[in-house]
């Protein structure tokens, strides 16, 4: 009964005039910032922190939480329409969202993304409401060995991302791992592959790599292949109507990956990026038509979109219950909470139930606002692709450079953006998939850190990775993912005989 009383306090905070207004304002601002290439959730939260000074803590958190999942929601639009992911969590959306838009169905792609995001967020909110105290305890069971096994499991699925040649996929992944090692070694303090450049000491920012490989790489390809049909000729269908078959195809991935994304999201340090990638890889692995992925598959778009929103919601559990941020964005939120005088941790639910449950309930309302606001606007958002190709190319390049410079205010990052744009073009030209590269780049650094922490804790004993059941199971799954593509052709040949 005490829990119901605490939840009631949360309802009272949310359904006040101020509560509703701040939630609506947050999702609106987040969506607008998220749509702009290069300006993701971190930028959105950073901009909003000064605005929250002097507000009631629960109202400030309503606003920033709305901005957070609004930016994740809005980031899908630039990923689908322009192949320009604004944040790491929407990279997987480009794999099938952009090809669907290229096929002349941008309205349909945006509608699928909106509905999948709503389902993912709603499922995660229900699970948070029911199991928040217990899931916080579960999150603490993940130590460095478990995190290493999780990252290794993600990397082992690179074969799934290969668009043809397996060799090209592995070469692409190795390049991503090499780029991830650039910068100061966090354990020894020595510089690696910086060649004396101070600008490389902190490594290469993810946004520079993603915007270069995907957005500028695609732009370079469009410029060189100007004889192809123009975007205004190709992108003519702004209809967002989905058939019963479409909804049936979405239902399985949306339900599966809302739960998977949520579970990944509650792990400190994992977050929406890993959740979206693992969901995409898992769905492709279990699909009866894996050859359709990467060519505008409904399942390939639904899986990461439901997962990244579910993971974004799930990341509030370690933030509020343990005081542990699960991503760069929630780390900013943690700092904002401390400035506001709120101490996240195990006692927050008891000491300030209005704030804890208010945030959870505000997410219900925020998800409804996002769907109601975005669905009617989809035909107008999709018309971005009707802009004449020369103007559209110029706008995308401008947004990319402004977005990167606004994050770091470093001209060197603009040179790096151009370099990765050239690399992205060459990879596309030579049929090297970019997805394994970006996955390896994201997971490489985290996997190395977890590996070193594990070996430090165990005194150099490699058995530490198989002594815990969670890490052991994930390593076995990773082994199966690596071995299966090699064994399947031999098994088919034996059966054929």
pLDDT digits (tens, 9 = 90+) for 135-162: 666 666 778 898 888 888 878 766 655 6
pLDDT on residue 96: 92
Model confidence band, residue 34 (pLDDT cutoffs 50, 70, 90): confident
Percent of the chain having pLDDT more than 90? Answer: 13
Question: Average pLDDT, whole number, for the chain?
Answer: 81
Check pLDDT > 70 for residue 485. no
pLDDT on residue 139: 64
Check pLDDT > 80 for residue 368. yes
As a whole number, mean pLDDT of residues 452-457 equals 90
As a whole number, mean pLDDT of residues 162-187 equals 83
Alpha carbon 442 to chain centroid, angstroms? 11
As a whole number, mean pLDDT of residues 361-367 equals 86
The neighbour count for residue 134, using CB atoms within 10 Å, is 10
pLDDT on residue 268: 65
Check pLDDT > 60 for residue 209. yes
Cα separation, 360 vs 355, in Å, equals: 9
313 or 204, which is more confident? 204
pLDDT on residue 477: 83
- Pick the range with the lowest mean pLDDT from 156-170, 252-266, 350-364, 368-382: 156-170
pLDDT per position as a tens digit, 57-97: 888 888 988 888 888 877 888 888 888 876 777 888 988 99
Task: At 37, list the tokens.
Answer: 């290439």
As a whole number, mean pLDDT of residues 204-222 equals 84
187 or 455, which is more confident? 455
Q: Which single residue is written with the structure tokens 């669907």?
A: 100
CA dihedral 314, 152, 187, 334 (to 10 degrees): -10
Check pLDDT > 80 for residue 476. yes
With both helix axes pointing from N to C terminus, report the angle between 389-408 and 217-224 in degrees, rounded to the nearest 10. 160
pLDDT on residue 415: 94
pLDDT per position as a tens digit, 218-251: 888 878 876 554 444 444 556 667 888 889 999 9
CA dihedral 88, 93, 99, 104 (to 10 degrees): -120
As a whole number, mean pLDDT of residues 275-294 equals 86
pLDDT on residue 425: 92
pLDDT on residue 298: 92
Helices marked H in 15-56 — which ranges?
17-35, 41-48
DSSP strand E in 151-269: where?
183-184, 191-192
Cα separation, 318 vs 303, in Å, equals: 23
Cα separation, 266 vs 433, in Å, equals: 30
pLDDT on residue 422: 94
pLDDT on residue 492: 65
pLDDT on residue 232: 44
pLDDT on residue 226: 65
Task: At 105, list the tokens.
Answer: 């169905």
Say if CB 325 and CB 28 are below 8 A apart: no
pLDDT on residue 83: 84
pLDDT per position as a tens digit, 407-449: 778 899 999 999 999 999 999 888 888 878 887 887 888 888 8
Task: At 455, list the tokens.
Answer: 């070996």
Task: Give which of 95, 82, 36 is closest to 393, Cα–Cα.
Answer: 82
pLDDT on residue 479: 84
Task: Give which of 180, 187, 177 is closest to 203, Cα–Cα.
Answer: 180
Instruction: State the distance between the two ends of the chain, measured CA to CA, in whole angstroms.
Output: 67
Using DSSP, state whether 315 is helix, strand or coil.
coil
pTM for the structure as a whole: 0.76
Cα separation, 279 vs 264, in Å, equals: 10
pLDDT on residue 250: 92
Cα separation, 222 vs 175, in Å, equals: 24
Cα separation, 90 vs 110, in Å, equals: 13
As a whole number, mean pLDDT of residues 350-354 equals 77
Check pLDDT > 90 for residue 49. no
Say if CB 48 and CB 67 are below 8 A apart: yes
Check pLDDT > 90 for residue 205. no
> CA angle, corner 283, sides to 282 and 286, nearest 5?
85
Check pLDDT > 50 for residue 295. yes
341 or 301, which is more confident? 301
């Amino acid at each position: 009964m005490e829990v119901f009383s605490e939840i009631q306090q949360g309802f009272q905070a949310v359904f006040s005039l101020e509560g509703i207004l701040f939630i609506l304002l947050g999702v609106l601002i987040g969506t607008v910032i998220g749509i702009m290439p290069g300006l993701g959730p971190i930028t959105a939260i950073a901009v909003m922190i000064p605005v929250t000074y002097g507000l009631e803590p629960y109202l400030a958190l309503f606003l920033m939480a709305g901005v957070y999942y609004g930016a994740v929601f809005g980031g899908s639009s630039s990923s689908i329409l322009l192949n320009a992911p604004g944040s790491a969590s929407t990279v997987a959306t480009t794999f099938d969202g952009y090809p669907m838009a290229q096929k002349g169905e941008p309205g349909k792609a945006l509608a699928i993304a909106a509905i999948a995001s709503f389902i993912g967020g709603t499922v995660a909110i229900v699970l948070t409401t029911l199991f928040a105290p217990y899931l916080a305890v579960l999150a603490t069971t993940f130590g460095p060995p478990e995190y290493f096994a999780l990252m290794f499991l993600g990397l082992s699925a690179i074969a799934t991302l290969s668009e043809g040649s397996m060799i090209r996929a592995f070469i692409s992944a190795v390049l991503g791992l090499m780029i991830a090692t650039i910068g100061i070694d966090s354990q020894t303090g020595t510089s690696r592959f910086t060649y004396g450049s101070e600008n490389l000491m902190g490594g290469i920012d993810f946004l520079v790599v993603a915007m270069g490989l995907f957005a500028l790489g695609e732009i370079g390809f469009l410029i060189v292949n100007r004889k192809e049909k123009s975007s205004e000729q190709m992108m003519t269908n702004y209809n967002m109507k989905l058939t019963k078959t479409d909804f049936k195809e979405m239902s399985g991935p949306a339900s599966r990956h809302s739960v998977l994304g949520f579970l990944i999201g509650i792990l400190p340090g994992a977050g929406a990026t890993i959740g979206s990638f693992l969901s995409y890889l898992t769905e492709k692995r279990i699909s009866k038509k894996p050859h359709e992925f990467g060519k505008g598959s409904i399942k390939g778009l639904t899986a990461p979109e439901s997962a990244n929103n579910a993971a974004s919601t799930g990341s509030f559990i370690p933030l509020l219950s343990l005081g542990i941020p699960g991503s760069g964005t929630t780390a900013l939120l943690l700092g904002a909470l401390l400035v506001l005088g709120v101490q996240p941790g195990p006692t927050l639910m008891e000491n300030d139930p209005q704030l804890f449950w208010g945030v959870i309930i505000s997410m219900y309302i925020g998800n409804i606002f996002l769907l109601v606001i975005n669905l009617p606007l989809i035909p107008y958002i999709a018309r971005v692709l009707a802009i004449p190709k020369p103007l559209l190319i110029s706008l995308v390049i401008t947004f990319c450079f402004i977005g990167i410079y606004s994050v770091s205010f470093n001209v060197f990052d603009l040179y790096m953006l151009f370099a990765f744009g050239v690399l992205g073009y060459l990879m596309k030209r030579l049929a090297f998939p970019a997805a394994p590269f970006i996955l390896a780049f994201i997971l490489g650094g985290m996997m190395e850190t977890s590996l070193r922490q594990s070996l430090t804790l165990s005194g150099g004993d490699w058995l530490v990775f198989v002594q815990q059941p969670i890490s052991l199971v994930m390593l076995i799954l990773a082994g199966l993912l690596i071995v299966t593509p090699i064994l399947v052709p031999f098994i088919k040949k034996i059966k054929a005989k």
